[in-house]
Amino acid sequence: MGAGIAGLRTLYSLRKAGFDAQVLEASDEIGGVWNHNRYPGARCDVESFDYSYSFSKELEQEWVWSERYPTQPEILRYLNHVADRFDLRRDITINARVEAADYNEESATWTLTLHDGRKASSRYLVLCLGQLSAPKMPNYPGQDRFKGETIVSAMWPRREIDFTGKRVGIIGTGSSGMQMTPVIAQIAERVTVFQRTANFSVPAANAPLTEEEDRAVKADYEARREMTRNSPTGLGFQPGKKKTLEVSDEEREEAFEKAYHRLGFGFALTYPDILLDKDANRVASDFLRRKMGERVEDPEVREKLMPVTHGFGTRRPTVDSGYFEAFNRDNVDLADIREHPIEAFTETGIRTSQKHYPLDFVIFATGFDALTGALLKPRIAGRGGVTLKEKWAAGPITNMGLGTAGFPNLLIVGGPGSPTVLSNVMVSTELQVDWMTELLSHLRDAGVREIEVTREAEAAWNRHVAERVNETLYMTAQSFYNGGEVEGKPKVFMPYSGGVRHYRRLLEQCAADDYVGFALRSTPLATQPETQDAD
Ligand code: NAP
């Protein structure tokens, strides 16, 4: 399910391994989030060379990225190119929204029901639904009354939207809001940013890529790939060796400056303890607040833009292009809605407890129901008709993010329990998909018809995920990492914070140990004479 980055890669790999694989995509276009998030300024905050597939040397050499950080249109072009180049479309059905998936315990197969009643069935079901793909919308009083246009950043309309001479309100200051603000500000008559939580950001240092840079990377691309696979984040950066407070103020200032101007997210790894130790984190946060502040002229606005509710990196920071400078323009305002909350939408704009903002457009850049949102949207029913929603009522539980007990022959890419949003998803996706392809090939060769995560393995993995996060500062903030982004969502840390390199080793170990943690059955459990696990 899903023809985004993960679905395309899964189709390619499974087909190559000789499987009959079919992709069902709800939209009328492939590309996943890069198809839906078409807002002005949308771009990836991972470098182009690393935000690309590594499975084909030819593809790697042929494709030429134009900028250090790729824009949404360029990534979407790339994904379409991949689909054409490898003839993937013949096995992708678009306009096919899966509403239900039911596991048949006798035949060990999945039956899928689409939105229009069509059915499909398969031995295995691979969920490639994205980690940040179920958009979340506020529900303010009077929202329906607003006579201007309301747009959700993650469901951006395909038609041209002309902001010339318009008054635009942007709600949300995560990556999406921060990326679109400076771009829309150049066109609109007035932009008002409604900020609930100020966010940390590092400037993108974006630039066109030169032929020399392109040649240099392509001359030894594999070395760069290996670096990403062996790094904690999939970004190729290794953490510095010394701890933050072990060095002199001058040395630290110099190292921070260097990382700040060049590394984007890599800033977090200037020292190995920035996300682990609160004093180290405070020093890094202070540095960033100072740098962010230097970019804003008005002292009052500057103060409001400084993140104070959390430490750097404990929520997803942003890599921005001109966000703070946008507030130096005469046509950009900041509405601090923590201090003066939004009371209601009116026919002509938004009223906060302080004043009324007349608007022609309101943009909801309000984020996603992260990690589990898309997985729990369809009704996925496993053994005994128990749904994934029921199973995960207290929070997701998986073995290495790959599957969950009670849902045989179901595999998940990029889901909770894997490095997912804490990594370059290109790298973690490829690791998972390659591993799954080997797993499925092994099952085919061994005559296995049913595979299922064991209860012991998933309990142990959840303990491990919790232990690893307790070594970090991630639980000191409310974020979409730990269910803090949706009211009523279980407040558990969902991604695996042990790093891509370690995760890769654990995957390899699991395969070497005959897929320990998974029950492999040649006869489905339900049809075995004595219903007991035969792993
Ligand atoms: P986000 O980081 O979750 O930010 C959502 C923003 O909306 C937050 O500022 C949040 O405030 C605010 N918000 C949510 N509900 C609100 C409400 N009812 N009223 C007012 N404000 C509200 O979402 P995002 O910016 O779309 O980014 C999500 C993730 O997508 C990123 O962190 C990143 O992983 C990915 N992304 C990546 C790229 C890229 O370059 N690769 C680009 C865009 C997005 P609170 O913090 O107070 O909740």
In 68-136, which residue ranges form alpha helices assigned H by DSSP? 72-85
How many Å apart are CA 95 and CA 30, to the nearest integer? 10
Residue 196 Cβ contacting ligand 1 at under 6 Å = yes
What sign does the CA torsion over 342, 421, 284, 49 have? Answer: negative
325 Cβ partners below 8 Å, 6+ apart?
182, 295, 296
Secondary structure of 137-190 in the HEC alphabet?
CCCCCCHHHCCCEEEEHHHCCCCCCCCECCEEEEECCCHHHHHHHHHHHCCECE
Percent of the chain with pLDDT over 90: 96
**Which residue is closest in CA terms to ligand 1's atom 45?**
197
Mean pLDDT confidence for 377-383: 98
User: Could you give the 3-state DSSP secondary structure of residue 312?
Assistant: coil
- Decide if 207 contacts 68 (C-beta within 8 A): yes
Q: Which atom of ligand 1 is nearest to the CA of 45?
A: 40
Q: Which atom of ligand 1 is nearest to the CA of 337?
A: 20
Mean pLDDT confidence for 371-399: 98
The two three-digit tokens of residue 492, written as one number: 């558990």
**Which residue is closest in CA terms to ligand 1's atom 38?**
44
Q: Characterize 173-204 residue by residue with b for buried, 16 or more Cβ atoms within 10 angstroms of its Cβ, and e for exposed.
A: bbbbbbbbbbbbbebbebbbbbbbbbbbbbbb
- Decide if 335 contacts 302 (C-beta within 8 A): no
**Which residue is closest in CA terms to ligand 1's atom 46?**
197
Residue 317 Cβ contacting ligand 1 at under 6 Å = no
Task: Supply the pLDDT for residue 62.
Answer: 97
Task: Supply the pLDDT for residue 290.
Answer: 98
How many Å apart are CA 3 and CA 344, to the nearest integer? 38
Task: Supply the pLDDT for residue 172.
Answer: 98
Confidence of residue 239 (pLDDT cuts 50, 70, 90): confident
Residue 366 Cβ contacting ligand 1 at under 6 Å = yes
How many Å apart are CA 320 and CA 303, to the nearest integer? 18
Confidence of residue 262 (pLDDT cuts 50, 70, 90): confident
The two three-digit tokens of residue 119, written as one number: 């059915």
Mean pLDDT confidence for 37-53: 96
Q: Each residue of 486-497: pLDDT tens digit?
A: 999 999 999 999
50 Cβ partners below 8 Å, 6+ apart?
224, 228, 234, 235, 236, 424, 426, 427
Q: Which atom of ligand 1 is nearest to the CA of 140?
A: 18
Residue 47 Cβ contacting ligand 1 at under 6 Å = no
Q: Which atom of ligand 1 is nearest to the CA of 138?
A: 18
Q: Each residue of 11-31: pLDDT tens digit?
A: 999 999 999 999 999 999 999
- CA atoms lying within 13 Å on the CB side of residue 350: 27
Task: Supply the pLDDT for residue 531.
Answer: 57
Q: Which amino acid is at 125?
A: L
Which pTM value belongs to this model? Answer: 0.96
How many Å apart are CA 287 and CA 205, to the nearest integer? 18
Instruction: Check whether 265 has a pLDDT greater than 90.
Output: no
**Which residue is closest in CA terms to ligand 1's atom 6?**
172
Task: Supply the pLDDT for residue 307.
Answer: 97
User: Could you give the 3-state DSSP secondary structure of residue 272?
Assistant: coil
Residue 43 Cβ contacting ligand 1 at under 6 Å = yes
Confidence of residue 534 (pLDDT cuts 50, 70, 90): very low
Residue 352 Cβ contacting ligand 1 at under 6 Å = no
Mean pLDDT confidence for 215-230: 96
Task: Supply the pLDDT for residue 219.
Answer: 97
Percent of the chain with pLDDT over 70: 99
Q: Which atom of ligand 1 is nearest to the CA of 319?
A: 40
How many angstroms does the Cα of residue 525 sit away from the middle of ligand 1? 43
Distances (CA, A) of 310 to 270, 315, 468, 474, 475: 19, 7, 20, 10, 10
Instruction: Check whether 176 has a pLDDT greater than 70.
Output: yes
Task: Supply the pLDDT for residue 240.
Answer: 83
Alpha-carbon radius of gyration of the chain: 24
Q: Each residue of 415-457: pLDDT tens digit?
A: 999 999 999 999 999 999 999 999 999 999 999 999 999 999 9
Helix (H), strand (E) counts: the chain? 15, 20
Task: Supply the pLDDT for residue 355.
Answer: 97
Task: Supply the pLDDT for residue 535.
Answer: 47
Q: Which atom of ligand 1 is nearest to the CA of 51?
A: 41
User: Could you give the 3-state DSSP secondary structure of residue 470?
Assistant: helix
Instruction: Check whether 522 has a pLDDT greater than 90.
Output: yes
Residue 365 Cβ contacting ligand 1 at under 6 Å = yes
Written as one string, the DSSP assignment of 474-485 is GGGS--TTTTTT
How many angstroms does the Cα of residue 429 sit away from the middle of ligand 1? 22
Mean pLDDT confidence for 477-485: 96
How many Å apart are CA 86 and CA 319, to the nearest integer? 32
Q: Each residue of 85-117: pLDDT tens digit?
A: 999 999 999 999 999 999 999 999 999 999 999
Q: Which atom of ligand 1 is nearest to the CA of 178?
A: 25
How many angstroms does the Cα of residue 366 sit away from the middle of ligand 1? 5
How many Å apart are CA 78 and CA 64, to the nearest integer? 10
Beta-bridged to residue 127, according to DSSP, are 412
Task: Supply the pLDDT for residue 533.
Answer: 53
Task: Supply the pLDDT for residue 88.
Answer: 98
Residue 45 Cβ contacting ligand 1 at under 6 Å = yes
Q: Each residue of 320-339: pLDDT tens digit?
A: 999 999 999 999 999 999 99
Residue 495 Cβ contacting ligand 1 at under 6 Å = no
User: Could you give the 3-state DSSP secondary structure of residue 70?
Assistant: coil
Residue 421 Cβ contacting ligand 1 at under 6 Å = yes
Residue 77 Cβ contacting ligand 1 at under 6 Å = no
Q: Which atom of ligand 1 is nearest to the CA of 480?
A: 3
Mean pLDDT confidence for 328-351: 98
Residue 185 Cβ contacting ligand 1 at under 6 Å = no
Q: Are strands 356-358 and 349-352 parallel, antiparallel or unpaired?
A: antiparallel
Instruction: Check whether 82 has a pLDDT greater than 90.
Output: yes
305 Cβ partners below 8 Å, 6+ apart?
195, 198, 292, 293, 296, 324, 327, 334
Task: Supply the pLDDT for residue 436.
Answer: 98
How many angstroms does the Cα of residue 174 sit away from the middle of ligand 1? 4
What sign does the CA torsion over 33, 34, 37, 41 have? Answer: positive
CA 450 to chain centroid, in Å, comes to 30
Distances (CA, A) of 159 to 39, 74, 162, 329, 500: 11, 18, 10, 28, 39
**Which residue is closest in CA terms to ligand 1's atom 15?**
366
Residue 177 Cβ contacting ligand 1 at under 6 Å = yes
Mean pLDDT confidence for 203-215: 95
